[in-house]
Amino acid sequence: MTHASPIRILVVDDHFVVREGIRSLIRREAGMVVIAEASHGAEGVKMHQLLTPDVTIIDLRMPVMGGVEATRLIRQETPDAKILVLTSFDGDEDIHAAFAAGASGYLLKHSSGDQVIPAVRALMQGDQWIPPEVGEHLAARQRGEVLSEREKEIVRHLALGEANKEIGIAVGISEQTVKSHVKNILAKLHVRDRTEAVTVALRRGIIHLPER
């Protein structure tokens, strides 16, 4: 598929160095141009509404609004929007959430240098971009058991070091019900204790540490 006019790209990332790196990559590629940059998801959504880029390259974790929510809002407004996630987060829950929100591709920053351009071109052709390592994480999630929203909520409280009684008060359930949920969480994550459950949940992107 050829284009008489250049592919117009919006870059959404809270780190200037990352945005500049992407702009430098695009600048060297004939037939592509970065038309705007945004430093968080809400700004990215507004830029997309104003400029309707051909492809949006977006990070997942940003202040004000993250990439998953921004992707969801952009796709609600423009159902055929082409969105490429470019992030350092490789947890299977992060990847699943991005595609569920409407992303068409997913790139990891540590391995993306030579993949950004072909990924953009693939999206313009109507294809998805799922590198092998990303596909492996998605497949692993499908093979495993998924935590319910309540269980995710409880894991977030476990990460704060709260006891069962404290968690029950916080979420409005009995201490015994919390114990039952924790037991199910340990079984689903294939771990032996609460500390290990939090470690696995962070690694997989089920929960995240608060932004500093």
Q: How do residues 139-166 score in pLDDT, each as one tens digit?
A: 878 777 788 989 999 999 999 999 999 9
Question: pTM of whole model > 0.85?
Answer: no
161: left (phi over 0), alpha (psi -120 to 50) or beta: left
What's the mean pLDDT in 112-137?
A: 91
What's the mean pLDDT in 106-133?
A: 90
> Which tokens go with 70?
């921004």
> Does residue 128 sit in helix, strand or coil?
coil
Bridge partners, residue 56, by sequence? 10, 83
pLDDT reported for residue 142: 75
* Alpha carbons 141 and 181: distance in angstroms, whole number: 20
Q: Which amino acid is at 72?
A: R
